Structure 1
Amino acid sequence: MKTKRRNPSEYEYTRPDDRIATLAGLLLCFITFSFCGPSDPASEYDSSVTELSIPKRSLPYFKGKDLQPVWLETSELKDATALRGISDFKFVNQEGKTVSSSDLRGSLSVVSFFFTRCSGICPTITDHLKTVQEECAKDGKVRMFSFSVTPDLDSPEELRRYAQRRGIRQKSWNLLTGPKSGIYKMARESFNADTIAPGERKKGVGPNDFLHSESVYLLDENRRLRGIYNGRSLGSVRELIGDVERLKLESSYIP
């Protein structure tokens, strides 16, 4: 039995040029499909999911007992009575001069808490804040205020000696002392700066006991709280320095 031979013209044959054309067509379809999809992946999600991932142009304000950050437009500030800021005070600095809360108005302020006999976190925080003194406080637009939490031990004379040892310039950096009750009240109400837990107070820790936090606070021209930083972390203090420059560009002063 003879096997019928097929004519060569009956065989399927693909030339190299045809294969290249096919691959090019597939690639074109893939590119077209990719670019026809949604240009913004975030548009697939609800705004409540994506809002926190959007960078904010300005620094937040803070409100409530838990210092909740909020972002507000300038037009909203006049009615924002619940925003956190420093409460009224009148204390004495290392030169024996009276410094009050009104002295903070009109300039940016960096606030911290310390005591001269502290051998733990205070020296580290002070050294990091000297970076702020050198880089931000030379032009007079930024002032620094460190409140002693052992004011009964830190007299103006003791504060002056401490400033001399640590290289603190009084012109831009005030070390403050005064009535213990006044300093503690201001620290707790303005910044939640007392880290003693409520449960500890029930065990006999009284209002005259105070454990200051390692936080450093940035206030704007209106004495409102705009940033909270870890004073023990040089990286966090560097972030503060950057935020100082941002606030200098922000026109937020409201008489």
Structure 2
Amino acid sequence: MWHTIVVLRLKQQIALLYAKAAQLPVNPLLRYEWSRRDQRRVNERPIEYPFALSCLSELCPSSVLDVGPGTSAWPQLLANCGYNVTAVDEGDSYWRTRPANRHHYVLRDDITHPKLETKFDAITCLSVIEHIQDHQAAGRGLRSLLSPGGHAILSFPYDERRFVDNVYALPGVSYGTDAPYICRVYSRREVDGWLREGFQIVRQEYYRIFSGDLWAFGERLRPPVTTTVNEPHHLTCILFRAT
């Protein structure tokens, strides 16, 4: 009995020391980012995260793959919800230097040619696929990693009728001209291409994010407006099911 108590207390002390040691390099960075909080702009995550969480809460997947988390805490947020989460990011084609995610361990993999052999019940890919050159290969990669009947949750800049190869290259865009990556606006044609890879749409929502006609044109609306396919929109969130 005493041996068990001693072992338990040793484990507790080791866990405490680990927690304190882990804070040493992180706290200065957190303090710096907190000091710059007024310089941050509200983005589309407050739309995408609730949509994805709503879908996941109904699906209750046993395993979740997050594609392209970058530096975000999204995969760790899912882990905090109790999901078994794996995160992958290729990184090099998006960032000038590959970032470190301090929230969750991220495997290095390319969704256009994934090396993962595991299948997942659900995949989240939020504000990522618009930055990928070969979006058809990305769609095939997503489909290849889904379990039978699995689901993929995507969000991206969208216009029902108009595809834009790189909105950051257009005159008059409000930001992104110095970005080292592209930002595409997808249309129904590209979505239909993903459907041919073995998906069907379960749910799709549309949002107006900017005052202009296209993504990143005009001022950001605060708050964004939920719209329909027949009304002006800049962003879509889609729940796909593997067929």
TM bin, normalised by shorter chain, reads: under 0.3
Larger strand share, 1 or 2: 2
Larger radius of gyration: 1
Larger helix share, 1 or 2: 1
**TM-score, structure 1 as length reference:** 0.25
**TM-score, structure 2 as length reference:** 0.26
